[in-house]
Amino acid sequence: MHANRLNPFGHKLVRRVRNPFRFFFGKNEKPGCPILATASCRKGGRPQLLIGRALAASGLAALLLVAGCRQDMQNEPKMIPQRGSALFADHRGARPQVLNTVARGQLHADTYFYTGVVQAPNGQREELDQMPFPVTMEVLKRGQERFNVYCTPCHSRVGNGLGEIVQRGYKPAANFQDQVRRSQPVSHYFYVMTHGYGAMPDYSAQLAPVDRWAVAAYIRALQLSQDATLQDVPAGVQVKSLKDIAQEEHLPAGFARPWALPATAIQAYPPVAAEGTPGMAPANPADPSIKIPLSKPAPAAAK
Protein backbone atom coordinates (compact mmCIF):
# COMPACT_ATOMS: atom_id res chain seq x y z
CA MET A 1 0.00 0.00 0.00
CA HIS A 2 1.26 3.50 -0.82
CA ALA A 3 0.23 7.00 0.17
CA ASN A 4 1.13 10.33 -1.49
CA ARG A 5 1.99 13.37 0.54
CA LEU A 6 3.84 16.70 -0.06
CA ASN A 7 6.91 17.77 1.81
CA PRO A 8 7.31 21.34 3.07
CA PHE A 9 8.94 22.28 -0.29
CA GLY A 10 6.01 21.06 -2.37
CA HIS A 11 7.67 17.89 -3.65
CA LYS A 12 5.56 14.74 -3.80
CA LEU A 13 6.85 11.92 -1.71
CA VAL A 14 5.87 8.25 -1.80
CA ARG A 15 5.77 6.29 1.44
CA ARG A 16 4.86 2.68 2.07
CA VAL A 17 2.12 2.25 4.69
CA ARG A 18 2.58 -0.70 7.00
CA ASN A 19 -0.15 -3.30 7.20
CA PRO A 20 -2.36 -2.42 10.21
CA PHE A 21 -2.67 -6.10 11.11
CA ARG A 22 1.06 -6.59 11.33
CA PHE A 23 0.94 -6.29 15.10
CA PHE A 24 -1.23 -9.37 15.37
CA PHE A 25 0.35 -11.61 12.75
CA GLY A 26 4.04 -10.67 12.95
CA LYS A 27 6.46 -9.31 10.41
CA ASN A 28 6.46 -12.14 7.88
CA GLU A 29 2.77 -12.23 7.00
CA LYS A 30 1.73 -12.43 3.37
CA PRO A 31 -0.01 -9.41 1.84
CA GLY A 32 -3.71 -9.93 1.45
CA CYS A 33 -4.09 -12.44 4.29
CA PRO A 34 -7.33 -11.88 6.25
CA ILE A 35 -7.32 -11.16 9.94
CA LEU A 36 -8.30 -14.69 10.93
CA ALA A 37 -6.00 -16.32 8.38
CA THR A 38 -4.60 -19.77 8.92
CA ALA A 39 -0.94 -20.47 9.48
CA SER A 40 -0.55 -21.71 5.87
CA CYS A 41 -1.60 -18.31 4.48
CA ARG A 42 1.06 -16.46 6.43
CA LYS A 43 4.71 -16.76 5.55
CA GLY A 44 6.32 -18.83 8.20
CA GLY A 45 3.03 -18.89 10.22
CA ARG A 46 2.97 -17.83 13.88
CA PRO A 47 -0.28 -19.06 15.49
CA GLN A 48 1.35 -19.20 18.91
CA LEU A 49 2.04 -15.49 18.76
CA LEU A 50 -1.65 -14.71 18.12
CA ILE A 51 -2.81 -16.97 20.97
CA GLY A 52 -0.26 -15.58 23.39
CA ARG A 53 -1.16 -11.98 22.68
CA ALA A 54 -4.88 -12.78 22.98
CA LEU A 55 -4.29 -14.37 26.38
CA ALA A 56 -2.20 -11.41 27.45
CA ALA A 57 -4.97 -9.02 26.44
CA SER A 58 -7.57 -11.11 28.34
CA GLY A 59 -5.39 -11.18 31.44
CA LEU A 60 -4.91 -7.43 31.29
CA ALA A 61 -8.68 -6.90 30.99
CA ALA A 62 -9.31 -9.20 33.96
CA LEU A 63 -6.68 -7.37 36.00
CA LEU A 64 -8.32 -4.04 35.27
CA LEU A 65 -11.73 -5.45 36.21
CA VAL A 66 -10.49 -6.79 39.53
CA ALA A 67 -8.68 -3.57 40.29
CA GLY A 68 -11.92 -1.65 39.72
CA CYS A 69 -13.92 -3.72 42.28
CA ARG A 70 -14.30 -2.31 45.75
CA GLN A 71 -15.47 -3.77 49.04
CA ASP A 72 -17.66 -0.88 50.09
CA MET A 73 -20.95 -2.83 49.73
CA GLN A 74 -19.50 -5.90 51.44
CA ASN A 75 -18.12 -4.00 54.42
CA GLU A 76 -20.88 -1.44 54.82
CA PRO A 77 -22.76 -1.42 58.15
CA LYS A 78 -26.00 -3.39 57.78
CA MET A 79 -28.19 -5.84 59.66
CA ILE A 80 -27.59 -9.48 58.72
CA PRO A 81 -30.50 -11.89 59.39
CA GLN A 82 -30.17 -14.16 62.43
CA ARG A 83 -27.18 -12.22 63.77
CA GLY A 84 -26.78 -10.13 66.87
CA SER A 85 -26.30 -6.40 66.97
CA ALA A 86 -24.68 -4.05 69.47
CA LEU A 87 -26.84 -1.18 68.27
CA PHE A 88 -29.97 -2.22 70.20
CA ALA A 89 -30.37 -2.84 73.90
CA ASP A 90 -31.59 -6.43 73.42
CA HIS A 91 -28.58 -7.18 71.14
CA ARG A 92 -30.84 -8.61 68.45
CA GLY A 93 -30.56 -7.53 64.86
CA ALA A 94 -34.08 -8.71 63.95
CA ARG A 95 -36.57 -6.24 65.33
CA PRO A 96 -39.97 -7.41 66.65
CA GLN A 97 -43.04 -6.58 64.65
CA VAL A 98 -45.01 -3.53 65.61
CA LEU A 99 -48.15 -4.45 67.53
CA ASN A 100 -51.53 -4.23 65.83
CA THR A 101 -50.04 -4.11 62.32
CA VAL A 102 -51.35 -6.13 59.39
CA ALA A 103 -49.34 -7.18 56.38
CA ARG A 104 -50.48 -6.04 52.97
CA GLY A 105 -53.20 -8.34 51.63
CA GLN A 106 -53.85 -9.98 55.03
CA LEU A 107 -56.54 -7.69 56.40
CA HIS A 108 -59.23 -10.28 57.06
CA ALA A 109 -61.97 -7.88 58.07
CA ASP A 110 -64.72 -10.48 57.52
CA THR A 111 -63.72 -12.81 60.34
CA TYR A 112 -66.60 -15.24 59.75
CA PHE A 113 -65.52 -15.73 56.14
CA TYR A 114 -61.96 -16.62 57.16
CA THR A 115 -62.66 -18.53 60.39
CA GLY A 116 -66.19 -19.95 60.14
CA VAL A 117 -66.99 -18.96 63.74
CA VAL A 118 -68.40 -15.98 65.61
CA GLN A 119 -68.20 -14.91 69.22
CA ALA A 120 -71.18 -16.15 71.20
CA PRO A 121 -72.73 -14.19 74.10
CA ASN A 122 -70.92 -16.45 76.57
CA GLY A 123 -67.58 -15.45 75.10
CA GLN A 124 -66.94 -18.72 73.25
CA ARG A 125 -66.65 -19.04 69.53
CA GLU A 126 -69.69 -20.58 67.92
CA GLU A 127 -70.42 -22.04 64.49
CA LEU A 128 -73.38 -20.86 62.40
CA ASP A 129 -75.60 -22.59 59.91
CA GLN A 130 -75.25 -19.91 57.26
CA MET A 131 -73.02 -19.07 54.32
CA PRO A 132 -71.06 -15.80 54.18
CA PHE A 133 -72.14 -15.24 50.56
CA PRO A 134 -75.07 -16.29 48.34
CA VAL A 135 -74.96 -19.86 47.05
CA THR A 136 -75.41 -19.97 43.28
CA MET A 137 -75.17 -22.82 40.81
CA GLU A 138 -71.63 -21.71 39.99
CA VAL A 139 -70.70 -22.00 43.67
CA LEU A 140 -72.14 -25.52 43.88
CA LYS A 141 -70.33 -26.58 40.70
CA ARG A 142 -67.07 -25.27 42.11
CA GLY A 143 -67.73 -27.06 45.39
CA GLN A 144 -68.51 -30.30 43.56
CA GLU A 145 -65.30 -30.05 41.55
CA ARG A 146 -63.15 -29.43 44.65
CA PHE A 147 -65.04 -32.08 46.63
CA ASN A 148 -64.42 -34.71 43.96
CA VAL A 149 -60.70 -33.86 43.91
CA TYR A 150 -59.89 -33.68 47.64
CA CYS A 151 -62.77 -35.31 49.57
CA THR A 152 -63.93 -38.34 47.59
CA PRO A 153 -60.85 -40.51 48.33
CA CYS A 154 -62.12 -40.75 51.94
CA HIS A 155 -65.77 -39.67 51.90
CA SER A 156 -66.77 -41.12 48.47
CA ARG A 157 -68.77 -39.29 45.80
CA VAL A 158 -71.99 -39.42 47.83
CA GLY A 159 -70.35 -38.52 51.14
CA ASN A 160 -71.04 -41.73 53.04
CA GLY A 161 -67.47 -42.08 54.33
CA LEU A 162 -66.61 -45.21 52.32
CA GLY A 163 -64.08 -43.88 49.85
CA GLU A 164 -61.50 -45.85 47.96
CA ILE A 165 -58.71 -45.52 50.52
CA VAL A 166 -61.11 -46.55 53.31
CA GLN A 167 -61.73 -49.78 51.40
CA ARG A 168 -57.96 -50.29 51.38
CA GLY A 169 -57.30 -50.02 55.09
CA TYR A 170 -57.70 -46.36 56.07
CA LYS A 171 -59.95 -45.37 58.94
CA PRO A 172 -63.59 -44.78 57.95
CA ALA A 173 -64.24 -41.14 57.23
CA ALA A 174 -67.20 -39.15 58.45
CA ASN A 175 -70.55 -40.09 56.96
CA PHE A 176 -72.28 -36.87 55.93
CA GLN A 177 -75.60 -38.74 55.70
CA ASP A 178 -75.98 -39.68 59.35
CA GLN A 179 -78.01 -37.71 61.87
CA VAL A 180 -75.03 -36.10 63.56
CA ARG A 181 -73.51 -34.58 60.41
CA ARG A 182 -76.83 -33.44 59.03
CA SER A 183 -77.49 -31.57 62.27
CA GLN A 184 -74.14 -29.80 62.28
CA PRO A 185 -74.02 -26.17 61.03
CA VAL A 186 -72.55 -25.59 57.60
CA SER A 187 -69.66 -23.57 59.01
CA HIS A 188 -68.56 -26.68 60.93
CA TYR A 189 -67.36 -28.21 57.66
CA PHE A 190 -65.40 -25.05 56.89
CA TYR A 191 -63.82 -25.18 60.35
CA VAL A 192 -62.83 -28.85 59.98
CA MET A 193 -61.32 -28.27 56.54
CA THR A 194 -59.33 -25.37 58.00
CA HIS A 195 -58.01 -27.03 61.16
CA GLY A 196 -58.45 -30.76 60.65
CA TYR A 197 -60.34 -33.16 62.88
CA GLY A 198 -59.24 -36.56 64.22
CA ALA A 199 -57.49 -38.54 61.51
CA MET A 200 -58.39 -35.91 58.91
CA PRO A 201 -55.63 -33.35 58.28
CA ASP A 202 -56.39 -29.73 57.49
CA TYR A 203 -56.81 -28.69 53.87
CA SER A 204 -56.14 -24.98 54.29
CA ALA A 205 -53.10 -25.24 52.00
CA GLN A 206 -55.03 -27.04 49.25
CA LEU A 207 -58.28 -25.08 49.42
CA ALA A 208 -58.66 -21.32 49.54
CA PRO A 209 -61.30 -19.96 51.96
CA VAL A 210 -63.80 -19.38 49.17
CA ASP A 211 -63.32 -22.98 47.96
CA ARG A 212 -63.78 -24.34 51.48
CA TRP A 213 -67.12 -22.56 51.69
CA ALA A 214 -68.07 -23.90 48.26
CA VAL A 215 -67.28 -27.45 49.41
CA ALA A 216 -69.33 -26.91 52.57
CA ALA A 217 -72.28 -25.77 50.46
CA TYR A 218 -71.93 -28.82 48.23
CA ILE A 219 -71.84 -31.12 51.27
CA ARG A 220 -75.17 -29.65 52.33
CA ALA A 221 -76.49 -30.27 48.81
CA LEU A 222 -75.33 -33.90 49.04
CA GLN A 223 -77.18 -34.28 52.33
CA LEU A 224 -80.35 -32.90 50.81
CA SER A 225 -80.03 -35.19 47.79
CA GLN A 226 -79.70 -38.30 49.98
CA ASP A 227 -82.46 -37.32 52.42
CA ALA A 228 -85.04 -35.77 50.10
CA THR A 229 -88.70 -36.72 50.20
CA LEU A 230 -91.45 -36.52 47.62
CA GLN A 231 -92.60 -33.25 49.18
CA ASP A 232 -89.24 -31.73 48.28
CA VAL A 233 -89.66 -32.50 44.57
CA PRO A 234 -91.09 -29.63 42.51
CA ALA A 235 -94.44 -30.21 40.85
CA GLY A 236 -94.28 -31.80 37.41
CA VAL A 237 -90.87 -33.46 37.93
CA GLN A 238 -90.75 -37.20 37.40
CA VAL A 239 -89.17 -39.21 40.20
CA LYS A 240 -87.24 -42.41 39.46
CA SER A 241 -85.74 -44.91 41.82
CA LEU A 242 -82.01 -45.56 41.83
CA LYS A 243 -82.62 -49.14 40.75
CA ASP A 244 -84.45 -48.01 37.60
CA ILE A 245 -81.75 -45.46 36.84
CA ALA A 246 -79.05 -48.12 37.25
CA GLN A 247 -80.84 -50.38 34.78
CA GLU A 248 -81.19 -47.56 32.26
CA GLU A 249 -77.48 -46.77 32.55
CA HIS A 250 -76.58 -50.49 32.21
CA LEU A 251 -74.97 -50.52 35.66
CA PRO A 252 -74.66 -53.59 37.92
CA ALA A 253 -77.75 -54.61 39.83
CA GLY A 254 -76.12 -53.88 43.17
CA PHE A 255 -75.17 -50.35 42.20
CA ALA A 256 -78.23 -48.85 43.92
CA ARG A 257 -77.94 -50.94 47.07
CA PRO A 258 -76.70 -49.45 50.34
CA TRP A 259 -72.94 -49.54 50.71
CA ALA A 260 -71.56 -51.76 53.43
CA LEU A 261 -68.36 -51.16 55.35
CA PRO A 262 -65.66 -53.35 53.76
CA ALA A 263 -63.81 -55.88 55.88
CA THR A 264 -60.49 -54.20 55.06
CA ALA A 265 -61.48 -50.94 56.80
CA ILE A 266 -60.02 -50.19 60.22
CA GLN A 267 -62.51 -49.46 62.97
CA ALA A 268 -62.21 -45.92 64.30
CA TYR A 269 -61.50 -46.62 67.95
CA PRO A 270 -61.25 -43.67 70.37
CA PRO A 271 -57.78 -42.11 70.29
CA VAL A 272 -55.31 -43.00 73.02
CA ALA A 273 -53.57 -39.96 74.46
CA ALA A 274 -50.38 -41.93 75.13
CA GLU A 275 -50.18 -42.95 71.47
CA GLY A 276 -50.80 -39.48 70.08
CA THR A 277 -53.72 -38.14 68.07
CA PRO A 278 -54.03 -39.52 64.51
CA GLY A 279 -53.28 -36.98 61.84
CA MET A 280 -51.77 -34.59 64.40
CA ALA A 281 -55.16 -32.88 64.68
CA PRO A 282 -57.40 -32.46 67.75
CA ALA A 283 -59.76 -35.38 68.02
CA ASN A 284 -62.28 -33.53 70.17
CA PRO A 285 -61.71 -29.78 69.92
CA ALA A 286 -63.45 -27.90 72.70
CA ASP A 287 -63.20 -24.59 70.86
CA PRO A 288 -65.39 -23.71 69.09
CA SER A 289 -68.35 -25.27 70.83
CA ILE A 290 -70.31 -27.58 68.53
CA LYS A 291 -74.03 -27.56 69.22
CA ILE A 292 -76.09 -30.40 67.73
CA PRO A 293 -79.87 -30.32 68.28
CA LEU A 294 -81.36 -33.58 69.50
CA SER A 295 -84.06 -35.15 67.36
CA LYS A 296 -85.25 -37.34 70.21
CA PRO A 297 -85.01 -37.14 74.01
CA ALA A 298 -81.75 -38.21 75.52
CA PRO A 299 -81.83 -41.64 77.22
CA ALA A 300 -82.35 -41.58 80.96
CA ALA A 301 -79.31 -42.10 83.09
CA ALA A 302 -78.95 -45.54 84.65
CA LYS A 303 -79.72 -45.67 88.35
Q: What is the pLDDT of residue 70?
A: 66
Dihedral angle, C-alpha 124, 129, 135, 139, nearest 10 ° = 70
Domain boundaries, the chain: 2-68, 111-228+243-280
Q: What is the pLDDT of residue 17?
A: 47
In this prediction the pTM is 0.54
Tell me the backbone φ, ψ of residue 298, rounded to 5 degrees.
Answer: -70, 145
Q: What is the pLDDT of residue 256?
A: 67
3.30.300.130, 1.10.760.10, 3.90.1150.10, 1.10.40.30: which CATH number matches 111-228+243-280?
A: 1.10.760.10
- Tens place of pLDDT per residue across the chain (303 aa): 444 555 555 555 555 545 554 544 444 444 545 444 444 454 445 566 677 778 888 888 887 777 667 666 667 777 778 888 888 888 888 888 888 888 887 888 888 999 999 988 888 889 999 999 999 999 999 999 999 999 999 998 888 888 888 877 777 788 898 888 888 999 999 999 999 887 788 999 999 999 999 999 999 999 988 888 888 888 888 888 777 888 888 887 777 666 666 565 555 555 555 655 444 444 444 444 444 444 444 445 444
